[in-house]
Structure 1
Amino acid sequence: MGALNLLPLVVLFAVVGGVGWVCYQVFLYSNELAERGVKKMEKKNVLFTKDGAKVGVKEVSAEAYADKTQRAFVKTWNAAQDGSPASSTRSRTK
């Protein structure tokens, strides 16, 4: 008769232990997922610190910046001189 009185207590401990194990597995998985996310963001030059997020900027040399700017200016200038439909020729035909 004494062993039957302990059966509900054993079942209770088994259920609590099972729920605790499931919660622990969820905790481990969430930490692993967070670490993967941090590593992925570090590849994109985003660092998370206690103060917040810091974003790194890729360095662009002055020469490369000047080349890109000049190229864009020349394309715009040429498009304006060609009289393409994007220029002011539409307003003259109306």
Structure 2
Amino acid sequence: MANSIIPLIILLLVVALFSAIGFAVYTIAQDVSSNTRAKMEKRNISFSKEGMKVSVKEKRDEEYKDQTQSVLVKVWNNTSFPAYKSRLWDNGASGKEDDVKRR
């Protein structure tokens, strides 16, 4: 009788071990899923039974123009035109020096 109980106890321990591992994997998968869903919803992407929905974040016209102008100003400030001479301003050089150089 003792010989028939030992395999039953081993079987129950193995089943308990596999169920504990399965529960841990399930719990981790649910946490990853909920964290990913929350991060995607912050970026205006939502998942539902019908599929994925992407919403467009509204931007006011003024914000769009400010960002565009900021980019253009940064590009202008970080470029250099070695042979460029403006007709509108002299970039710090006096007009007399330009006249001397032209002669």
TM-score by length of structure 2 reads 0.59
Task: Give the fraction of aligned pairs with identical amino acids, expressed as a percent.
Answer: 31
Q: CA offset at residue 48 of structure 1?
A: 0.7
Q: CA offset at residue 63 of structure 1?
A: 4.2
Matching of residue 6 in structure 1 with residue 18 in structure 2: no
Residue deviations 1:39-83 (CA, integer Å, cap 9, x gap)? 010111111111111112121223445x37x85xx99xxxxxx9x
Corresponding residue number in structure 1 for 2:43:
44
- Root-mean-square deviation (Å): 2.9
SS in 2 for 1:58: coil
SS in 2 for 1:29: helix
Larger helix percent: 1
Q: Which runs of 4+ in 1 moved over 4 A?
A: none
Corresponding residue number in structure 1 for 2:15:
16
1:1-94 correspondence runs (5 A)? 2-65=1-64, 67=65
Q: Number of residues paired by the alignment? A: 77
Corresponding residue number in structure 1 for 2:92:
none
Partners of 1:54 and 1:21 in 2: CA distance: 36
Unpaired runs of 5+ residues, structure 1, are: 76-81, 85-94
Unpaired runs of 5+ residues, structure 2, are: 74-80, 84-103
Alpha carbons of structure 1 residues 40 and 64: separation in structure 2 relative to 1, 3 Å: closer
Amino acid at match of 1:27: Y
SS in 1 for 2:46: strand
